[in-house]
Structure 1
């Protein structure tokens, strides 16, 4: 069944977002609603800005007798558009238009001064944008500075420092700055509080969305861990069955089969011991997965003392190993001891799989507050078994993770002779510092 292609974004809606703040700029994923309708009169609205510009320009030139009134009128219109992106700069433009009207206006009778009607609307829009998009103290400071400018206008008119009325004797009207200051202060504070409420509402929604995202991530992680645990249990059941069969067959071979040489009997006994050891390790790991108190993790873990048996098992598999274990500290941390064994075990297993029969040298030495593990093998033996061509690379990743958890370093790579080298360095002194730096 063919799926329908997603609808193409509407270019008309994308253009509208440049003219009205109905959605992010260039987005077509919006629908008309009450909120988008209010955006026509809000920050970033180009149509509303044009209306305010034309109204302000007409008032300043004809009613306020400012010949260059187009400049403060343009500042008023630009402030509305700019409030969508930079409300602080938009507030500066509104204040510049207000100051121009304060010092250059000449009126007959009562007219709003110094805050004109168009400037008042722009001021409301800008304070709303400050409350919505900036920290509260920015909007409060903007309101206080406007109040100070309005108070300056009242004082300037009362002291005749600025003459607004063209004929104050013929038109003894009250000072218009008082009403302008009162109305602008009240409406500006109200717009700022609405913007601040929108900001708090948006932050609340963002926090809820973040909490939901974190909760979903935790649920996904829990499901993943549960699935991994289930797979580990199933894998144990499958492998344990076959390993149990191998153990039983190898243990009873010398009694079931006649005419076995002593070497063959010893080989079957070795296979039986290795199978039992593998089963014991798998049961211990499964116990960690199934028990909440991790009782299995408190059982003794293999360390450097088990390397001799590991090397003997690899030699019986047809890969000669020269093992050298130096003097190690008696108080070697358990995690370091386990990492020494696991790194050597994985390195020797890689040799058996990818270079069977290769001469291999394994060294474990301590000195200068650290333990060094080095496993170097030569090229595979020509007459030996064919190497395993398949490899996931997870063995090297696992070694690197183990070493990094102990604050150590791991180097792996081919040698000039055609073999492979694994070299791990594990700190045993000042391990807390090493772990913090990792």
Structure 2
């Protein structure tokens, strides 16, 4: 919706901002609203300035000519002000409605066929304010407001019956001995209906807010779960790398006394101690790995891939219909295994995102060593429209192609890159595609490994 308002002409957007002050079509000063059912009802709802002006004119004319109240502009102003104020302060607006009702009750002298003391504009204001009270305040506030109206109406009927207030009416058009009874009863029924409608709107809004909050919490939990799953996956893969090095240490230390001549007993004992600690560490890591691995991964012992596997990955994606141009060069032969694995996973996840979100888009992958660091860049262009339409149809049918990666996308890439002390940059490209760039340090790694 925001993007729509930004694309609209400035004068049109300014008109929408002005209209937002005239009635409750949207937040004050906002041009993001659009015409809908709620906007239509807002024309006669709380805060509607046009509706308030209509009631002001009609109430003033009615009180002056039909009720013989020379100062009728004052209760008319109270009635119209209550409509506008109901949008922000419905309790104060209700006080204005009662004040206008009391003014008509005391000041009217001749009513002819008109209702008394609840005039037609007052009835409209009463319903609007009771609706606003039930919608924006706690239910007991609306109940007390309706009860206060009932109390004022009871006083008006008592005053009319006791002749404390003298009202001259037309016996033909208004033969009721107590003219207050009919109008006040009608006001009580319609006011109760407006209160119930406002209460229904309040309950509906609260339900929507709770659903939105639950969705937000669920999305946060899903993100955290995905993050933990990716960290667990990284831990499993790092185990395989570390276990290889620990195995080498264990073998070398256990065979040192046979391979190296002239070792004293203390040196042999030291090598035996190193061998024992290495084997104990391997056993602890295997026990930890048994907890981290899921049942279907219990027997997985495949070697971890590195940059040498990128060629096959690019060819597989290319065969799937997404052309990939791969350039790998200048990588050192003694590239750390964790960095090598991260390079492969970043490219794998980036290509997986291209297949999922931009099928058929031309993609450039570049991996190179620059100034003591590895730079991985994956840039794709916009997808062909035909393939994008087919991809969306496949998504609608539930067949989303996902032949590569873990499906964790940016979350997994960011975790892996930060683990190696690198930096990940992602965002749209100027050509309408997407760009992923990771920078991984390969020199002076002691600082990275010792940092907390």
TM-score, length of structure 1 as denominator length: 0.63
1:233 aligns with 2:233: no
1:139 aligns with 2:172: no
Task: Quote the residue 1:325 is aligned against.
Answer: none
Counterpart CA distance in 2 for 1:94 and 1:5 is 38
1:244 aligns with 2:247: yes
1:186 to 162, 186, 189: 189
Counterpart CA distance in 2 for 1:118 and 1:183 is 13
1:254 to 245, 250, 257: 257
Counterpart CA distance in 1 for 2:447 and 2:211 is 51
- Tell me if structure 1 keeps the 8 A contact 2:113–2:173: no
Distance 1:272 1:37, change over 3 A: same
Counterpart CA distance in 1 for 2:66 and 2:117 is 13
Over alpha carbons, which structure has the higher Rg? Answer: 1
Counterpart CA distance in 1 for 2:62 and 2:102 is 15
Structure 1: state its 5+ residue gaps.
Answer: 293-385, 395-438
Cα RMSD (Å)? 2.8
Task: Quote the residue 2:26 is aligned against.
Answer: 23
Task: Quote the residue 1:220 is aligned against.
Answer: 223
Counterpart CA distance in 2 for 1:118 and 1:72 is 10
2:285 to 282, 285, 310: 282
Task: Quote the residue 2:127 is aligned against.
Answer: 124
Q: 1:5, CA displacement in angstroms? A: 11
Bigger RCO (CA 8 Å, 6+ sep) = 2
Distance 1:149 1:33, change over 3 A: same
Structure 2: state its 5+ residue gaps.
Answer: 296-443
Task: Quote the residue 2:201 is aligned against.
Answer: 198
Counterpart CA distance in 2 for 1:27 and 1:203 is 23
Q: 1:286, CA displacement in angstroms? A: 2.5
CA offsets 1:379-438 (integer angstroms, 9 cap, x no match): xxxxxxx995446642xxxxxxxxxxxxxxxxxxxxxxxxxxxxxxxxxxxxxxxxxxxx
- Tell me if structure 2 keeps the 8 A contact 1:44–1:80: yes
Q: How many residues align?
A: 299
- Tell me if structure 2 keeps the 8 A contact 1:109–1:173: no
Q: 1:146, CA displacement in angstroms? A: 0.8
Shift >4 Å, 4+ stretches: 3-6, 166-173, 386-393
* Aligned positions of 1:92-131 closer than 5 A: 92-131=95-134
Task: Quote the residue 1:363 is aligned against.
Answer: none
Q: 1:103, CA displacement in angstroms? A: 0.7
Q: 1:61, CA displacement in angstroms? A: 2.1
